[in-house]
Amino acid sequence: MPRLSHSLALTPLGRADLARTVSSAYGVLRGARFGEDGLLVLPSEKELRRLELRAEELGLTLDQGERTAHEHGTPDPWEESVRTGEPGSTEREIAAQDLADEAAIEAAEPSLRLLSGEHLAPGSTYLVTEVDPEGRPVFASDGEGWVGTDLTVASWDESGVCAVDFAMREEAGTGGASAEDDGEAPSTTGGVVHDRARETLAVDAELRFPVRSALARWGSHLLRARVRVRLDLPGWFASAAGAATPPPVTLEVEHPLVRARGEASPSPGTDGTWTVTGRLDVHGVGLSRPIVAVAAWALRRSLRRSEQWSLESGAASFQQGWDDLARALPGLPDLLDDVAATFADAGPGDHR
> What's the confidence (pLDDT) of residue 344?
94
- DSSP code of residue 173: S
Distance between CA atoms of residues 262 and 201, nearest Å: 16
Judged on CB neighbours under 10 Å (0-12, 13-18, 19+), 239 is buried
> What's the confidence (pLDDT) of residue 185?
54
> What's the confidence (pLDDT) of residue 214?
44
**Other beta carbons less than 10 A from residue 152's beta carbon:** 18
Distance between CA atoms of residues 291 and 283, nearest Å: 10
Strands 200-208 and 249-254, by their bridges, are unpaired
> What's the confidence (pLDDT) of residue 109?
74
> What's the confidence (pLDDT) of residue 186?
47
Beta strands in the chain (DSSP E): 3-10, 109-116, 125-131, 149-156, 161-168, 188-195, 200-208, 224-232, 249-254, 258-268, 274-284
| Averaged pLDDT in 10-residue chunks for the chain of 352 residues | 79 96 97 92 94 92 46 47 52 62 65 94 92 62 58 96 88 45 62 97 85 50 84 97 96 86 94 93 64 51 51 78 93 97 82 55
Rounded to 5 degrees, φ, ψ at 260 are -140, 145
Distance between CA atoms of residues 297 and 305, nearest Å: 13
Residue at 279: amino acid letter: R
